[in-house]
Structure 1
Amino acid sequence: MSRSSNCEGVSRRDCLRLGLSTLIGGGLIDALRLRGQAEALMPTSSRPTSCILVWMDGGPTHYETFDPKPEAPAEIRGEYDPIATAIPGVHFSRHMTELAKIADRLAIVRSIQHNQGNHGAGNHYMMTGAPTRIPVGCGAFVSFHPSLGSVTAYERGPTGGLPPYFSIPRMSRSGGPNFLGAKYAPFEVPDDPNRDSFRVRDVSPPRELDLGRFDHRRDLRAQLDRLERIDHDAAGDPVRSLDEYYEQGYTLMASKDAQRAFDIHSEPDSIRDLYGRTSFGQRCLLARRLVEAGVPFITLYEGGWDHHVEIFNALDKKLPPFDRALAALILDLEQRGLLDSTLVVALGEFGRTPKINNRGGRDHWSNAMSVMFAGCRTPGGQVVGATDPRGYAANERILSPENFASTVYLKLGIDPDKIYYTPQGRPAHLVSDPTPIAELMG
């Protein structure tokens, strides 16, 4: 798997060096242990909907994806010609060919904007629906508010023994639970499903350990563990709880349903080829399998969109397999009868500057961005909002990250107008403006 970083050179490894690993989705036993402490209090939703959020980390260009400006001067419109879509009169940029064919299933929002033009603040705003409380640096990994995925995990809870929130292959910098607690952090799947050796950690015993030896070690632990348990519930004995968490872990490892969800090698070659034999393509396929298993929130973290230099050379390689995989995901969900209950969203933290810089790239620009929606009864074949003729800023149906977050929550059966309380008793509005994007609600 390639190691991508943003313009500040901050990578996942740097985050771990800062000691944040306990908040970004650890092993399954730890996740079960932490989650179980409040499982009885988890509210549930009556709507069995799911969300696949494709996070285009770095800030994708709106010009070269969903909002081309062919009439603008060359230094703004860039090198790509627009292409027609299935929506009469609506154009995408050159490499978005497969999504253009199914644009009648899509809703493109061209008018979300905010004032957080660096990665740290922009990521937080779009991932949580809340701006940072203080100014933060471009390379900051910050959390002032629970992420969309963590809130969904809190509200919806686990299904079929699987964690309710996945982030594949890693967590976005502001994709964590904040005051909700680490039990609502995402379960990460760092391994590459495009490899023949793909195997999800913590869901099956190590390859060198057959089931007989695995059961023997389990029995050995039980024999060695002579620590006295206090059986009364009022005691809150953590050892009793730990027993339960280990048992849940063992059960999951032995669960045929869980094994089936991760067995991407059982997919027909024709389906795997449809998505494309790339890391991102096969992660999209894995996300579909998790939706089938009932997981309510999956983030597909796809880095490498911070194109300050030679943007067109980079996008010539990056966009075609991305476009293919995302279109395949939407069509596959539709053919399986899952699209009506699955929201697919693709976005990053902001758009890119109108004028191409002297290094052949585009820089950060939060005055304009495009967000793609599909599924979960979102009316397709529409474009919501607009930017000015040169793409500098949203100038029609101007929307905010709060409107975006409220839309996602309502699609998942979660009230964005809720008030949460921190462990210290402080109230926290889930979304300060709980107004959804009405055109997307169906």
Structure 2
Amino acid sequence: MPRLSSSPCRGPMSRRSFLEFGAVAGGVGLADLLRAQTAAAASGGGNKETAVIFVWLPGGPPHMETYDMKPDAPSDYRGAFSPIRTNVPGIDVCELFPKHARIADKFNIIRSIHHTFADHGGGHKRFLTGRKPATPTGFVNDAPCVGSMASLDLENKRDTGGLPNYLVLGSGRVNSVDTFSFGSAYLGKHTHPFRISSDPNGKNFKVQNIEMDKSMGDRLDDRLTLLRSFDRLRREVDSRAAMTTMDVFHDRAARMLTSARVREAFDIAQEPVAVRDRFGRHGWGQRALLARRLVERGVPWVTVVMENPYQSGIKQPKTGVYNWDSHAVNCHIFEDAKIRFPIYDHTITAMIEDLYDRGLDKKVMLVVTGEFGRTPRLNHQTGTQSKVMQPGRDHWPGAMSMLVSGGGMRTGQVIGATNSKGEEPVEYALSPNDLWATVFRHLGVDDTRNFLDFSGRPMPMLPFGKAIPELL
């Protein structure tokens, strides 16, 4: 598989000078961000109409307070909330999810995915790469995130009209690709996601590096013309052809900078007021809406990080925590849920209903999950912020629950089951890889492919895992 060389190219310019020149022409780092591996399969096509919205809940949501409640378990297991019936017999959800209850026929709940990595870093890497991480802690990937793998496979199968084919709408807290293990490891930085960390709910929301004034546009045209001249000369002397597609990548960067279609896709202000209100006037809701705009316009993979609900004027109490990491030292799990869960309930169901209303439910698969569940048994500790004894749950990769919707799948199902205390799967045990095999099947991604790792060894996209038949 061709790889970009880290040594100087044998052309009229050094590699460093060449890239610096490109940065001036197209915005610092933009061409590198959009560059993709040219060895991606050009045949096979994939499903050109499909997309995935992947909602990531970092910290680990509590399965026994969300989608796998155990009302008959002992009191130190079952928690403070009760399950409520939904519009599908046999499916119950938390009482704080009344909007879920009305549309359970439009989603599925998976209760039997599990793994063995209980640290946040290890859990992120295990869940998001399809591999057991070499180190159980830390967030820097030693294998590519599934989004990067899909991005590379789809690069020559999809024309997104200048839009990136893999985006992450971040939490607003940070914008590092390694914060949530979204890195691409040996696939290279060119398969990192295009990241947007600012809050789409903000009055002056703007995506950086996709706009320029007319004078800058004229200068860009001049520089691209000159750059192509250098490229032609370089190709004549670069016998290794290690950078023969640099012109293509700079053209893509230029398309992002000059395309009205790209600017329009990110312009959430074009959405009607009623639609914006439907999603919720907060960071989670508006990121979900922006994700829908992007997949509607041809982006195949958008990750939405729903981490901190205490934004957009929503005040965080001393009993709350910014993410889903509901240790007793971090938060009062039930008091935090009373604020967090209604926002989550509103956002997720608004997105599901909007996809169905627009006829996108067959094209777009929605996946909502965190890296693991929480300990079935409650514990009590003094809160760091509250300074009082409060309940919480710790990390538990042995059981977790997630929601999937759309994707043309049969919905209104519960897949798998845990034991009476929510400790482990007792029916239809699955791994994260089975989920990703299902997602890849929906996208038309060839998950039998091999990629070369840092040492040049072929590494399978997914070392194991099969698509879940009930979701096909």
Give yes or no for TM over 0.5.
yes
One-letter identity of the residue aligned with 2:393: R
Are residues 104 and 294 of structure 1, via their aligned partners in 2, closer, same or farther at CA, if it must alter by over 3 Å?
Answer: same
Say if 2:335 is the partner of 1:336. Answer: no
Shift of residue 368 of structure 1?
0.6
Q: 2:326 aligns with which of 307, 315, 318?
A: 307
1:125 aligns to what? 126
* Matching residue's letter, 2:147: G
Mapped partners of 2:192, 2:127: distance in 1: 17
Among 438, 441, 455, the alignment partner of 1:410 is 441
Q: Is 2:416 the counterpart of 1:385?
A: yes
TM-score by length of 1: 0.86
Deviation at 1:377, TM superposition (A): 1.4
Task: Structure 2: give runs of 5+ residues left out of the alignment.
Answer: 1-25, 308-322, 382-390
How many residues of Structure 1 are paired with residues of Structure 2 in the alignment? Answer: 407
Offset at 1:79?
0.7
Alpha-carbon distance in structure 2 between the residues aligned to 1:431 and 1:241: 28
Give, as a single letter, the amino acid of the residue that structure 1 aligns with 2:371: E
Partner of 1:432: 463
Segment drifting more, 180-189 vs 35-44:
35-44
Amino acid at match of 1:142: V
Tell me the distance in 1 between the aligned counterparts of 2:93 and 2:253.
46
Equivalent residues of 1:109, 1:372 under 8 A apart? yes
Which residue of structure 2 lines up, in the alignment, with residue 191 of structure 1?
198
What is the TM-score of this pair, normalised by structure 2?
A: 0.80
Cα separation, partners in 2 of 1:46 and 1:216, compared to 1, 3 Å: closer
- Matches of 1:229 and 1:427 in 2, distance apart? 31
Q: What are the superposed Cα offsets for residues 242-289 of structure 1, whole Å, 9 maximum, x if unpaired? A: 666555433322212111111100111100010000101000000000
Cα gap change, 1:413/1:29 in structure 2, threshold over 3 Å: closer, same or farther? Answer: farther
Q: 2:377 aligns with which of 338, 355, 374?
A: 355
Give SS of 2:365's match: strand
Give the stretch that moved more between structures: 35-44 or 237-246: 237-246
Identical-residue share of aligned pairs (%): 36
CA-to-aligned-CA distance 1:56-83 (integer Å, 9 cap, x gap): 0001000111111111122111111111
Secondary structure in structure 2 of the residue aligned to 1:339: coil
CA contact (8 A) 1:350 1:364 kept: yes
For residues 93 and 229 of structure 2, the distance between their equivalents in structure 1, rounded to whole angstroms, comes to 64
User: Where does 1:17-56 land on structure 2 (aligned, <5 Å)?
Assistant: 30-33=29-32, 35-36=34-35, 38-39=37-38, 41=40, 43=42, 44-56=45-57
Q: 1:233 aligns with which of 235, 253, 256?
A: 235
Query: What residue identity is the alignment partner of 1:66?
Result: Y
Corresponding residue to 2:144 among 130, 143, 146: 146
Structure 2 residue 278 is matched with structure 1 residue 278? no
Distance of 2:396 and 2:340 partners within structure 1: 20
Partner amino acid for 2:196?
V
After superposition, give the CA deviation of every residue in 1:313-355 in whole Å (9 maximum; x if it has no partner). 1111111111111111111111111110111000011000011
The corresponding residue for 1:22 is none
RMSD: 2.5
Mapping of 1:31-180 within 5 angstroms? 31-33=30-32, 35-36=34-35, 38-39=37-38, 41=40, 43=42, 44-132=45-133, 134-137=134-137, 140-157=138-155, 159-169=160-170, 170=175, 171=177, 173-180=180-187
Residue 353 of structure 2 aligns to a residue in which SS?
helix
Note if 1:253 corresponds to 2:257: yes
Change (3 A) 1:41 1:225: closer
Cα distance in 2 between the residues matched to 1:85 and 1:284: 23
Range 123-132 or range 165-174, more displaced = 165-174
Give the direction of change, closer, same or farther, for the CA distance of 1:261–1:238 in structure 2 (3 Å limit). Answer: same
2:299 aligns with: 295
TM-aligned CA deviation for residue 29 of structure 1: 5.6
Name the structure 1 match of 2:189.
182
The residue type paired with residue 202 of structure 1 is: N
How far apart are the structure 2 equivalents of 1:326 and 1:82?
18
Which consecutive unaligned segments of at least 5 residues does structure 1 have?
A: 1-26, 206-210
Distance in 2, matches of 1:116 and 1:99, equals: 29
Call closer, same or farther: CA 1:356–1:202 in 2, change over 3 Å.
same
Q: Does structure 2 retain, via aligned residues, the 8 Å contact 1:149–1:165? A: yes
Q: Which residue of 2 aligns with 1:208?
A: none
